[in-house]
Structure 1
Amino acid sequence: MTERFAIYYAPGQTTALWQRASQWLGRDAATGAMLQPPVPGLMRGRLNMLVAQPARYGFHATLKAPMRLAPGTTREALEGALADFVMTRRGAAIGRLRLAIFDRTLVLMPELQSERLRQLAAQCVVAFEPFRAPLRAEDRARRAASGLSERQLMLLERFGYPYVMEAFRFHMTLTGRLAPEEAGPVQAAAQAFFAPVLEAPLTLDRLSLFHEPAPGQPLRRLVDFPFSIPVDV
């Protein structure tokens, strides 16, 4: 089985943040629509090159990274587990987002990451681990070659992804890696483009199931699972 599933946070499809981020990326992962609005300060063709990788994944924050399903598990069972998970837990406040350069990529991230947000992300990692097939050797080697710390290598072996637990940083990726001379102009253009949607605080009020049908294909947003207990803001 080559398809993969991911558990992400993504804003509601009717929100201004989702719509504006999808325009920036040039693709709406929920509808599959390709979007090419102008972005002042950037040539659209150049922006399309800069956003190629995050556009394939869709606008999101990773909670459970893309995974092949373990033998004996199914998409239906995963969706059932997601429904159970959100029924018994409360979401988390994210707060206001800011633009930042993170690992040489442009991202949206909270002004301050709360412990509750980290705890909820960790619960997602653990709760859906039974659905994850073991990493393939080539995937393990690719990750291990990316300069991980000893602790991150341990997390990779245990959970199939190195940026979890205490290594988790909530972020929503807007570009691939930027050359130093591009980071400033791209961030300035993004600041103007996203300014109208960055004033209101955000809440992690749902989990979203994304699907990659085959390696290298765009991920699609399949279904949302809203938390049943209101978030304390």
Structure 2
Amino acid sequence: MNKTISYYDKGPIVGWMFDLHMRYLTGNKKSLDDVMRTLYQEYYLKQQRGFTEQEFRKVCEDIAGTNLEELFRYVGSTTELDYTKYLDQAGLHIDLERQTVPGGWLGVTTRVAKDSTVITAVEFDSPAWQAGLRRRDIILEIDNQPANAFPFGNMIKDQLPGDEVKLVVVQRGEKKLLSLVLGKKLERSFKISPQSNVDKLQSAILEGWLMGKVSP
């Protein structure tokens, strides 16, 4: 279950979907580039200011020639993206089947700061989350080995789902010993491949996106 939105991850993907869908709606005669040019000309050059969310939406819908409610719903919510629908408009197939990731799932992202392994993110409902680990906690040891010398991250590759690991951590200045059972992680590959049978518009959209151009 998605609890938050990362504009670093989701933003470029939604932007890509906007581009493909605008090309589809206009017969590949308009793209997201037209939106950006219009915003630059109308608001920066003419009015010497930025633009509001409502103004951005109006420009998008004016250029697309229709309501873009579905795409804008993705922008402001954790609704799962309909990758298949929008990539199909460019004659692309995406593999969304979930497959087991090798290793045991811990569910944390870390960074090393001053020789300390600091947690920067914890996946919701992961084994680490269930054990009480949170962002900014410091991991000192894993199974009696110094954390900064132990190869781990979101997954512990040398262990399996169901294996128990012991962690020595520091939470809010207090040193603790935690035990947790590694889980099984299912992830999508998101592998994208060209479809075998595509029409002229799909071919034009794919070429236009790859080359950064539109149809005359």
Larger Rg: 2
What is the TM-score when the length of structure 2 is the normalising length?
0.25
> Which of structures 1 and 2 has the larger relative contact order (alpha carbons within 8 angstroms, sep 6+)?
1
